[in-house]
Every structure is written in structure tokens, then in C-alpha cells.
């Protein structure tokens, strides 16, 4: 079977710190060319960055392929090349089919047009006939859940409404290839779940999906295979569980009970509030990264905000090396949002009791605003290990499940007759 996507030696070079590209007159273009020639003669060189280097892979029709990696690994650049948004510096990509791309919030939307008009505009951009878009219109509007705002200019839409409409158009106009970047993180949890269900249904219908996400749970549930990018190169291609495990092992720093996170790589977020530090302790406040089964632990973190304080809440997610979220702590479950400004804020959550089975775990930390917009998110901020013994010192014997919750036995012998 012929591949629906073929890439051969794709590389992309960017200049850093150069003048911003703009349209100008012929005179200005000649002047820019002359200055560039002078720089070459004088030995002045601009700093450059290879966003991608020699990337080659094939995708079979009907496959869902995950693309993962840290920020700056080249994921979005690869999708832009495959979507024909930008050209590669070297190499080529061949796609055999109609492509629908969801790369950035509002891509392909005209802010002055209404939601209704933008549905038809996006359909035309994707190569759809007006009759085809018209046939799907009601389904698109219902999925996006913005029927009341269809005749409102999209410049008045929130980022979540943008994503709802953009995803609905891209997913419902029957492309052979659907390309999705990490824009679904903007939507609320219910809509994200709805989108993931649509992606799964799209794949079952024989469509091909390229899916970039930092949500390893979604990647594991949706993707047939995964491509791991590191510094613009393919580090691994293979079965989802194997590549996700390799990625998570690589993102987690060496075990440390205290970390300064000001310079840590961010997964997503606007940066309005930034996580500054995090630590992990035993229940009696001893710094450690090793815990016995059933032993409680405490995670603390601090964050810094803008000059004008904003309302924010914290998230903590604990992942296994298989990429499964095994523990979650959301501040809004029990505590109201906190106002975070220049003075910062601190948070502390105790996991007690803990029933994790032996193994290594990573901790992701997040802070978000009142309307679920992410301010900051760091994967692999902390790591710890659950040892193969109980708090009593008894070794852990192999048993079913990922957890070993504390339990209480009551046993008595039958009375003699």
C-alpha cells in the first residue's frame, strides 16, 4: 500500500535576531540585498537555528501518528511544512490527499467576518465546494456549540470559542489528512474530550491524523505510532507505549527533592504567572525522593505573577513511566483561587494516604486562570520513586494493578465447638 505521507530529508533553517520580514519596494529589496552582501564580505554572520534536520518518515493511510517532544524540538515546524504553511530549507514532503490543519488558534479566520462566514471561508481554503460546506454546516455549528454567536464577528470570540469553531470546521469537512497541533489545550476539559472522540472516530473512518500533544494520556489512547523529536531530529519512531516511555524518562530530571524552575523548559502557557520552584518531602518534612509503599508525601511549589495581580489556581499531576496520569490534585476542588502578583504565592498539597505501586513517577505542575487559560505548565518538574517495600519493611510481592491502597484486615478464628 502506498504511503499517504512521505517525507525525505526535511530540514528547516531559521535566522535568529535578524530583521523582521516585511513587504517593501524594489529599492528597499535591493538595499537589503546589498547590506547582506556586505555582511558576508565583512565576515559578519547572523545566528541561525536548524529547527529540523534530516527528518524522514512515511505514514500509511488510516493511521493516527503522535508527534511528541519538548518545546523547541521542531514539532510545530514539521506540521507547518506538511501543511504547506512554510517551505523546508532542504528535503521534500509529499502528501497524497486533501489536508485540513489546525495549527494555531484562529488560523485561517478573518476577524471581521462572522462565525458563519468564516465556516465558508475555511471550507474554501480547504478546497471544499460551497455545497459541501453547506451540507455540513448544521453539524459543524452544533459540534462547536456556538450557535448563538454564529452571526457575531469572530474578533469578539474567546480563544476557547476560536478553537471550537476551527476544530469543528477542520474535522467535519472530510479531509484525507487531519493535522492537529497542541491547540486543543485551550478548550475546556469537556470539549477536549469531545474533540478526542471526534479524532478517534475520524481515524476509524479511514482518515489519517497527525497529532501533536503534550497530553501523554491522549497520545497513548489515540495513536497507533509515535514520532519523538529531539532538537530537530527524529530520536525514535515506534509503538506508542515504548516511545512515550522513552520521552517521559528523558524529560524527567535526575531525582532531586528541591528544584528551581525559573529556567526550566515550559510545555505551554502564556507566562503571565510562572512557577518558580517546587519540592517534595515526607510527611515529617524530610527532603527525600524515595518513599515506601503507603508512605505519604508532600509537594510544595511557588509561583510569581505580574505587577497587577491575577487570579490563579494550581494543578499537580503525577505520571507513571508509561505516561498514565495516576494522581491528580486540583486546587479548585477544595480551595478558592489565589491572587498572584510580584510578591508571588506558595502552595502545598499532601498526598495521604498513597497507594502507588513500586516504580518511578514524574510530577507535572501547572497554574491557570479563572477562565481555564494556562499561565504555565512544566512537565517532569519533579521525580520520585516508590520503593519495593511497605512502610512496615515487608517486601512487595507481585500483584495485580497499578495501586496498592492501604487496607485493614480483621481476622478471627472460628470458635471451637
Residue 183 has pLDDT above 80, yes or no: no
Check if the beta carbon of residue 170 is closer than 8 Å to that of residue 107. Answer: no
Q: Which domain holds residue 102?
A: 5-19+29-249
CATH number at residue 280: 2.70.50.60
Among 11-20, 75-84, 305-314, where is mean pLDDT lowest? 11-20
Q: Are residues 149 and 55 in the same domain?
A: yes
Domain count, the chain: 2
Q: Give me 197's grid cell.
A: 472522540
What pLDDT does 251 receive? 58
CB 86 within 8 A of CB 97: no
For residue 224, which of 69, 61, 93 has the smallest C-alpha distance?
A: 61
Where does the pLDDT of residue 29 fall: very low under 50, low under 70, confident under 90, or very high at 90 and above? low
For 129, the enclosing helix (H) or strand (E) is none
CA distance 135 to 133: 5
Contact 210, 177 (CB under 8 A): yes
Q: Please indicate, yes or no, whether residues 134 and 227 belong to a single structural domain of this protein.
A: yes
Question: Above 60 in pLDDT, residue 265?
Answer: yes
46 & 192 share domain = yes
232 and 271 together in one domain: no
Does the pLDDT of residue 252 top 60, yes or no?
no
- Cell 515506601 sits on residue: 292
In a domain, 408, yes or no: no
CA dihedral 135, 136, 137, 143 (to 10 degrees): 160
| List of E strands, 335-413 | 338-340, 345-351, 359-368, 374-390
Read off the pLDDT of each residue in 79-106 and give the average, rounded to a whole number. Answer: 84
Q: Does the residue 120 lie in any domain?
A: yes
User: What CATH number is given to the structural domain containing 48?
Assistant: 3.40.50.300
- Indicate the DSSP class of residue 413: P
Does 395 fall in a domain?
no
For residue 411, pLDDT over 80 is answered with: no
pLDDT of residue 41: 55
State yes or no: pLDDT of 34 exceeds 80: no
Instruction: Note whether residue 402 is domain-resident.
Output: no
Using CA atoms of 267, 272, 273, 276 in order, give the dihedral in degrees to the nearest 10: 70
pTM of the model: 0.63
**Mean pLDDT across the chain:** 82
pLDDT of residue 399: 60
3 pLDDT above the threshold of 80: yes
Amino acid at each position: 500500500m502506498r504511503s499517504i505521507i512521505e517525507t525525505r530529508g526535511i530540514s528547516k533553517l531559521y535566522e535568529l535576531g535578524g530583521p523582521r520580514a516585511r513587504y517593501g519596494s524594489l529599492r528597499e529589496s535591493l538595499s537589503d540585498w546589498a547590506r547582506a552582501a556586505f555582511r558576508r564580505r565583512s565576515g559578519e554572520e547572523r545566528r541561525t537555528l536548524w529547527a529540523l534536520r534530516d527528518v524522514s518518515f512515511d505514514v500509511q493511510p488510516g493511521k493516527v501518528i503522535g508527534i511528541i517532544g519538548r518545546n523547541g524540538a521542531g514539532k510545530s515546524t514539521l506540521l507547518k511544512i506538511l501543511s504547506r504553511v512554510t517551505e523546508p530549507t532542504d528535503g521534500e514532503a509529499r502528501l497524497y490527499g486533501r489536508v485540513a490543519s489546525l495549527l494555531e488558534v484562529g488560523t485561517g479566520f478573518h476577524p471581521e467576518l462572522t462565525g458563519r462566514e468564516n465556516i465558508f471561508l475555511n471550507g474554501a481554503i480547504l478546497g471544499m465546494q460551497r455545497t459541501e460546506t453547506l451540507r455540513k454546516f448544521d453539524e459543524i455549528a452544533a459540534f462547536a456549540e456556538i450557535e448563538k454567536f454564529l452571526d457575531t464577528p469572530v474578533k469578539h470570540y474567546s480563544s476557547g470559542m476560536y478553537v471550537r469553531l476551527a476544530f469543528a470546521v477542520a474535522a467535519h469537512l472530510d479531509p484525507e489528512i487531519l493535522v492537529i497541533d497542541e491547540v486543543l489545550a485551550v478548550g475546556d476539559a469537556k470539549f477536549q474530550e469531545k474533540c478526542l472522540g471526534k479524532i478517534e472516530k475520524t481515524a476509524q473512518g479511514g482518515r489519517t491524523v497527525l497529532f501533536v500533544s503534550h497530553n501523554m494520556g491522549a497520545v497513548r489512547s489515540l495513536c497507533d505510532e509515535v514520532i519523538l523529536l529531539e532538537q530537530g531530529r527524529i530520536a525514535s519512531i515506534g509503538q506508542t507505549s515504548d516511545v512515550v516511555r522513552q520521552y517521559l524518562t528523558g524529560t524527567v530530571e535526575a531525582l532531586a527533592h528541591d528544584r528551581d524552575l525559573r529556567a526550566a523548559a515550559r510545555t505551554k502557557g502564556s507566562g503571565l504567572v510562572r512557577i518558580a520552584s517546587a519540592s517534595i518531602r515526607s510527611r515529617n518534612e524530610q527532603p527525600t525522593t524515595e518513599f515506601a509503599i503507603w508512605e505519604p508525601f508532600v509537594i510544595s511549589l511557588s509561583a510569581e505573577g505580574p505587577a497587577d495581580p491575577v487570579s490563579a489556581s494550581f494543578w499537580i499531576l503525577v505520571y507513571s513511566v508509561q505516561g498514565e496520569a495516576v494522581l491528580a490534585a486540583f486546587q479548585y476542588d477544595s480551595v478558592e483561587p489565589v491572587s498572584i502578583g510580584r510578591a508571588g504565592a506558595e502552595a502545598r498539597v499532601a498526598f495521604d494516604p498513597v497507594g502507588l505501586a513500586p516504580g518511578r513517577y514524574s510530577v507535572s505542575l501547572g497554574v491557570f486562570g479563572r477562565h481555564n487559560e494556562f499561565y504555565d505548565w512544566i512537565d517532569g518538574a519533579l521525580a520520585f520513586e516508590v520503593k519495593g517495600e511497605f512502610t512496615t519493611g515487608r517486601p512487595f510481592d507481585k500483584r495485580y494493578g497499578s495501586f496498592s491502597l492501604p487496607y485493614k484486615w480483621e481476622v478471627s478464628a472460628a470458635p471451637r465447638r
